[in-house]
Amino acid sequence: MEGSTIPAATPQAVDAATLGEALRRTAAAHPDLVAVRTLDDALSLTWSELRARVDALAGGLARLGVGRGDNVALMLSNRPEFHLADLAVVTLGAAPFSIYLTSSPEQIRYVVADAEARVAVVEQAFLGRLLEARRELPLLAHVIVVDGTADAGEGLLALADVEGSDPSFDVDAALAAVEPGDVATLIYTSGTTGPPKGVELSHHSIFGAVRCVQEVIQLDPGARVISWLPAAHIAERAAHHYIPVVYAATITTSPDPRAIVATLPQVRPNWFFAVPRIWEKLKAGLEAMLSAQPEEQRARVEAALEAAKQRVRLRQQGAEVPAELEAAVAAADEAVFSGLRAMLGLDQVVTVNVGAAPTPPEVIEFFHALGIELAELWGMSETCGAGTVNRPGAVRIGTVGPAAPGVEVRLAEDGELLMRGSCVMRGYRNRPDLTAEVLDGDGWLRTGDVAEIDADGYVKIVDRKKELIISSAGKNMSPANIEATLKTSSPLIGQACVIGDARPYNTALVVLDSDFAPAWARQQGLAAAESGDLAALAGELAVQAAVQAGVDAANERLSRVEQIKRFTIVRGDWLPGGDELTPTMKLKRRPISDKYQAEIEQMYAGH
Q: Is the pLDDT of residue 191 over 60?
A: no
375/390 Cα distance (integer angstroms): 5
CA 450 to chain centroid, in Å, comes to: 21
**What is the pLDDT confidence band of residue 473, given thresholds at 50, 70 and 90?**
low
Distance CA 197, CA 215 (A): 31
Instruction: Say which CATH architecture domain 276-347+349-465 belongs to.
Output: 3-Layer(aba) Sandwich (3.40)
pTM of the model: 0.83
Is 90 exceeded by the pLDDT of residue 185? yes
Q: What percent of the chain has pLDDT over 90?
A: 64
d(CA 178, CA 18): 7
Q: Which residues contact 326 (CB under 8 A, 6 or more apart)?
A: 311
pLDDT at 9: 39
Half-sphere CA count of 310, side-chain side, radius 13 A: 15
Q: Name which of 202, 186, 162 is nearest 113 in CA terms.
A: 186
Q: Where does residue 421 rank: exposed (0-12), middle (13-18), buried (19+ CB within 10 A)?
A: buried
Residue 4 neighbours by CB under 8 Å, 6+ apart: 24, 171, 172, 175
Pair 63, 43: CB distance under 8 Å? no
CA distance 7 to 542: 70
**How crowded is residue 250: how many other Cβ atoms within 10 Å of its Cβ?**
22
Output the pLDDT for position 11.
58
pLDDT for the residue numbered 403? 95
pLDDT at 149: 72
Confidence of residue 391 (pLDDT cuts 50, 70, 90): very high
Mapping DSSP onto H, E and C, the string for 238-299 reads HHHHHHHHHHCCEEEECCCHHHHHHHHHHHCCCEEEECHHHHHHHHHHHHHHHHCCCHHHHH
- Quick check: do 276-347+349-465 and 469-603 share a fold? no
Mean pLDDT of the residues in the chain: 89
469-603 CATH choice from 3.40.50.720, 3.30.430.20, 3.30.300.30, 3.30.70.990: 3.30.300.30
Q: In the predicted model, what is the mean pLDDT of residues 158-184? A: 93
Going by pLDDT thresholds of 50, 70 and 90, the confidence category of residue 3 is very low
Distance CA 405, CA 386 (A): 9
Average pLDDT over residues 417-422: 95
192: confidence class by pLDDT, cuts 50, 70, 90? low
Assess contact for 460 and 378: CB atoms under 8 A.
no
Q: Give the pLDDT confidence score for residue 5 in this predicted structure.
A: 35
CA triple 275-279-281, angle to 5 deg? 115
Residue 150 pLDDT more than 90? no
pLDDT at 4 over 70: no
Strands (E), 132-194: 142-145, 156-158, 183-188
User: Is the pLDDT reported for residue 193 higher than 60?
Assistant: no
Query: Is the domain 13-270 a CATH 3.40.630.40 member?
Result: no
* Residue 457, CA distances (Å) to 150, 244, 318, 386 in order: 55, 29, 17, 16
Q: How far apart are CA 485 and CA 555, in angstroms?
A: 9
pLDDT tens-place string over residues 510-564: 999 888 888 888 888 887 766 768 888 888 899 999 999 999 999 988 878 889 9
Q: Where are the domains of the chain?
A: 13-270, 276-347+349-465, 469-603
* 3-class DSSP assignment, residue 203: helix
533, 536, 538, 542: CA torsion to nearest 10:
-110
Q: Residue 497 pLDDT > 70, yes or no? A: yes
DSSP state of 67: -
Rounded alpha-carbon distances, angstroms, from residue 86 to 205, 210, 404, 471, 547: 17, 17, 26, 47, 45
pLDDT single digits (tens) 563-602:
999 999 999 899 887 888 877 778 888 889 889 999 999 9
